[in-house]
Structure 1
Amino acid sequence: MTAESSATDDTVVLPKVEEAPAAPPAGPSRARRIAVQTGWAATLLSGLLLGFGIFLFGLSPLQEMHYQAAAHRTFQDRLANAIAPTGAATDGSPVAIIDIPRIGLHDEVVVEGTTGRDLMRGPGHRRDTALPGQAGVAVLFGRGAAFGGPFGRINELRAGDKIQVATAQGQFSYTVNAYGTGAHPILDPDPNRMVLTTSNSDWIPTSTVLVGARLDGDPQDNPGGRPAIIAADHALAQDTGALAALQLWSAALLGAVALSTLAARYWVRRAAYLACTPVLAALLWAVYENAAALLPNLY
C-alpha cells in the first residue's frame, strides 16, 4: 500500500448538514395591533358622531314634518267633532295651531308638553299654563335648531308683529310687545298674554330667548285643573329617562351588526346586505332619536 493510498483511507467524511428553514416573518407587535384597533374605533366613533349631526340637522326635520302632517289631520278632525281639548290633555297630543307670518311659521301644530320628546313633534304648550286664547299666561316652548327649529327665528319678531292661534275655543290674535332672556324674564302686568321660549344658540345653548305678546280682545274661560310640570318640562332640561332606552337600542344595534356580519360571511353577501340594511337603519335611527332626547329640550 502506497503512502498516497494511506492518506486517502485516513480521510474523515463528515455528514452533510442541511440548512435550517428560514423563520417566518414576525407578526405585528402588540403596540401596532393596539394602534390599528384604536384607529378603527376612532373612525367608527367619528362616523357615528357625523351621522348624529346629519340626523339632527338633515333628517330630524323630516320626522317633525311627518308628525306635523298627522297631527294637523288629527286636530282638524277633533275640531270638527268638537272634542279638541280646552283643559288638561295627553302629553304629545295636538292642542292648537299657531301662525307667525313675520318668521314664516304657518299652520304649525302645538302639542301638549315641553319635554324633549314632546318638542320633537313641534312647539309645545307648557301644561301648567293656560292655553292660548284663555285667561292667564300661555307659555309655548319651541326648538331653535333640531327637528325643524320652529322657534329658531323668534328673535326676529318686533313690537307690533302679530301671532295667530287657533284652538278649540276659536281663533285668537296676539301682538308682540316684550322681550327677555332666561336671566331677565319678561315682566308684563297684562293678565292675558303669551310667552314664546326657545334656546339662545344653535350650537351650545346656555340660556333662553323669550318673546312676549298680549292678547287682542277678550279671553275665553280657563277651566284650570292643570297638572304640575316635571323636571323634564323646564327650559333647557334633558330627558334623562331616555338614557335607559338609549342603552337598550344601542345593544340591539350592536347585536344586529354582529348578526349582519355573520350573514354576509355565510350567506349570499348581496342578499345579506339587502335584508339587513333596513333593520340596521331603523335601529340606528332609534339610537339617534334617544340620544337627541338627552340634549336640552329647546335645542
Structure 2
Amino acid sequence: MTVAVQTPLAPAAVLPRVRSITAVRHLARGALLSLAALLLGITAQLLLLSGAQEHSAQQATFDELRNQLALGTAPVAQTDQQGNLLTPGSPLALIKVPSLGLQQVVLEGTDSAVLTGGPGHRRDTPLPGQAGTSVLMGRAAAYGGPFGRLAELTEGDRITVTTGQGKATYEVLDVRRAGDPAPAPVAAGEGRLVLVTATGPRFMPGGLLRVDADLVSAAFPTPAAVVRPGTLPEAEQPLARPAGVPWPLVLWLQALLAVAVAAVWAWHRWGRHQTWIVFAPVVAALGLQVATRTTELLPNLL
C-alpha cells in the first residue's frame, strides 16, 4: 500500500521576511561594490589616469592657444574682446622653464576644476609679462603635477611666458616656503612672476612653496583690472576646495549605487559570467566619473 507523505508548507508569514532579508543583502552588497569601485577609481585616478587627462587637456588648449596667437586674438586682459570676463579654463599663456624641461599652457582661474587641465592664472593679478605681480598656481602631484619640481629651481634660472602681447622673460629670484622672508615689492612699472604650488609628501599637501622671478624684459602695458585683489572666491585661493554642494558627484554616486545593486541582482539571476560581461564596463565607467568628481573636491594644489 502506498502512503502519501505530505511536505509541510512554510508559513506564509515567513516569505515576506525572506524576501526582505534578500533585498537587504542585495542593497548591502551593492553598497560594498560601489565603495570598492569608488576607492579603486580614486586610486587609479590620482596615480594613473589624472596625468593622462591633464596631458590630453594640454594638447587641446595648446592647439587653441597657438591658433589664437596666430590670429592675434589671444587674451591680453582679464576680459575678452567683447568686454566679458574670460571663461575659467580659457588658455591664456605658454610658460617654459628650460632648467626643468617644463612647458605648459596656463589657463585662466585657479579653482580645483581648472587646475586639472594645467597651471592656472590667479584672476586678481596682472597677466604674465605685464607690470605688477602676476601669480600662477599649479598642482604638485595629481594631474601630471606640472609644478611638482619647482623646488629644484635656483637663483638665476630663466622662465619665459608667451601671451597675446609677446614673449616675457623672467629670472628666478628665490624659492621660499612658509616662514621665509618675502622679497621687496616690485617698483612701479616693473614686473614679477610668482609660481605657487604645494609642499609636503605626494598627495598630502602640507603648505605652500613660492618661486619669485623678476621680469628682465620690457613690461607690457597693463589694462585696467576688473577682478581686483580681495574679491576672489575662496575656492580659488591656494589649497582651497570647491564650495557648495557637489551636485555632479551626488548624481554620479546615485547612478553608481543603482548599477551596483542591479549587478548584484543579476549575479544571482543571470549568473556571474553574464553579469561580468554586461556590468563590469558600466561600473568601471561610473567609478571613473565618480573618482574624477571626487578628486576635484581635494585641495586645488594637490
TM-based fold match above 0.5: yes
Aligned match of 1:77: 67
Q: Which consecutive unaligned segments of at least 5 residues does structure 1 have?
A: 1-36
| CA shift digits 1:60-100 (9 cap, x unpaired) | 00010111111111111111121111112210110001111
Which segment is superposed worse, 59-68 or 273-282?
273-282
Aligned match of 2:259: 256
Aligned match of 1:92: 89
Task: Give the 5 Å matches for 1:1-299.
Answer: 45=35, 48-88=38-78, 89-106=86-103, 108-184=104-180, 186-190=182-186, 191-201=190-200, 202-227=202-227, 228-241=231-244, 243-263=246-266, 265-266=268-269, 273-299=276-302
Q: Report the secondary structure of 1:143's partner residue.
A: coil
Give 1 or 2 for the bigger CA radius of gyration: 1
Aligned match of 1:5: none
User: Between Structure 1 and Structure 2, how many residues are aligned?
Assistant: 263
Which segment is superposed worse, 77-86 or 138-147?
77-86
TM-score (norm 1): 0.80
What is the CA distance between 1:296 and its match in structure 2? 0.9
Q: 1:177 to 1:116 in 2, by over 3 A?
A: same
Alpha-carbon distance in structure 2 between the residues aligned to 1:121 and 1:158: 26
Q: Report the secondary structure of 1:54's partner residue.
A: helix
Q: 1:234 to 1:185 in 2, by over 3 A?
A: farther
| CA shift digits 1:7-62 (9 cap, x unpaired) | xxxxxxxxxxxxxxxxxxxxxxxxxxxxxx99998897566434422210211000
| CA shift digits 1:92-112 (9 cap, x unpaired) | 110001111111212x11100
What is the CA distance between 1:138 and its match in structure 2? 0.7
Q: What one-letter code is carried by the residue in structure 1 that aligns with 2:42? A: F
Equivalent pair of 2:37/2:284 in contact (CA under 8 Å): no
Equivalent pair of 1:178/1:186 in contact (CA under 8 Å): no
Alpha-carbon distance in structure 2 between the residues aligned to 1:294 and 1:200: 18
Q: Which consecutive unaligned segments of at least 5 residues does structure 2 have?
A: 1-26, 79-85
Q: Which has the higher contact order (CA 8 A, sep 6+)?
A: 2
TM-score (norm 2): 0.79
Q: 1:130 to 1:72 in 2, by over 3 A?
A: same
